Amino acid sequence: MSAGSTAEYKMKSPKVAIIDYEMCNLFSVNHACLKEGLTPIITRDPKEILAADAVVLPGVGAFGDAMKNLERYELVDVIEDASRNKPFMGICLGLQLLFGSSSEFGEHPGLGIVEGNVEKFPTVVEGRGIKVPHIGWNRVSFDPEEPIFDGIPNDSFFYFVHSYYVNPSDDSVVLTSTDYEGVNYCSAVKNDNMMAFQFHPEKSGVLGLKIYENWKRMIQARV
């Protein structure tokens, strides 16, 4: 083996820490990573998280309980660190938690990594009733120049399951937008190394897997 073998291995299959704070949804994220040639580890050990090449914050469940678990497992600072210093992907609740606060089942403070808040979909829009949660496949609009969407046609369908949506204070963090029954909202955010999706790439068939493939390439470019 050459002296560069560790680096070569990293290039081949970057290690991705999937944060396990008992809010489920780990199985499909894990397998989407495997499918696209990443090396996932499911962990809540801060050392392992900070040693990985990239970090995923998944999440399905209630905002307040999720924050409680993050605090209980002392993951708040680790996530903040990882979100600023590593390729970082939030998914669904993992997007919402990055924000300041949410009103789900009472007012709860979030991680405050992205400025803005989390709001519940109205059940009436322009006098018409709309179904909440927003469940199903919906179109996602983005700037086709974004590397994470390489090879994915603009306005493609991705799978959503949520009752709350994020409302960033700063428009420059908006990565994608989606229209649900007349509510046009931010369905993904990004900054230098962090991106977070309201939809589930790991549940969005072939195009969702493409996001993991593109992300792997972006991680490799940094390793």
Partner 1 sequence: MHQRVIAKLDIKGPNLVKGINLEGLRVLGKPEEFSRDYYEQGIDELIYMDVVASLYGRNSIHDLISRTAKNIFIPLTVGGGLRSLDDIREVLRAGADKVSLNTAAVKDPNFIKEAARYFGSSTIVVTIEAIKQPDGSYEVFVDNGREETGVEVLSWAKQVAELGAGEIVIMSVDQEGTGAGYDIELTRAVASLVDIPVIAAGGAGNSAHVADVLTDGQADAAAIASVFHYGHIHKVEGMGHLDQEGNVEFLKRKRSHGKIEPSSVVELKEHLVERGIHCRI
Does position 131 bind partner 1 by CB under 8 A? Answer: yes
Our CB check for partner 1 shows the closer of 86 and 203 to be: 203
Minimum gap (Å) between residue 188 Cβ and partner 1: 18
Question: Is residue 200 flagged as an active site residue?
Answer: yes
- Residue 141, both tokens: 């609009």
Q: Within 70-129, which residues bind partner 1 (CB under 8 A)? A: 93, 105, 123, 129
Our CB check for partner 1 shows the closer of 4 and 129 to be: 129
With CB under 8 A as the contact rule, the residue among 4, 7, 31, 151 that binds partner 1 is: 31
Our CB check for partner 1 shows the closer of 82 and 98 to be: 98
Our CB check for partner 1 shows the closer of 30 and 193 to be: 30
With CB under 8 A as the contact rule, the residue among 13, 138, 178, 187 that binds partner 1 is: 138
Please state, as a whole number, how many other Cβ atoms lie within 10 Å of the Cβ of residue 193: 18
Does position 68 bind partner 1 by CB under 8 A? Answer: no
Selected range binding partner 1 among 24-32, 72-80, 82-90, 191-199, rule: CB under 8 A: 24-32
Residues touching partner 1, count (CB under 8 A): 39
Residue 82 near residue 49 (C-beta atoms within 8 A):
yes
- Count Cβ atoms within 10 A of the Cβ of residue 132 and give its class: 0-12 exposed, 13-18 middle, 19 or more buried: middle
Q: Give the dihedral sign, CA 35/41/43/45.
A: negative
Our CB check for partner 1 shows the closer of 53 and 202 to be: 202
Choice among 36, 104, 119, 202 that is catalytic: 202
- Residue 3, both tokens: 């002296």
Choice among 36, 92, 119, 162 that is catalytic: 92
Minimum gap (Å) between residue 170 Cβ and partner 1: 27
Binding site for partner 1 (CB under 8 A): 24-28, 31-32, 35, 60-62, 65, 93, 105, 123, 129-133, 135-138, 157, 159, 161-163, 180-181, 200, 202-206, 208-209
Catalytic residue positions, numbered: 92, 200, 202
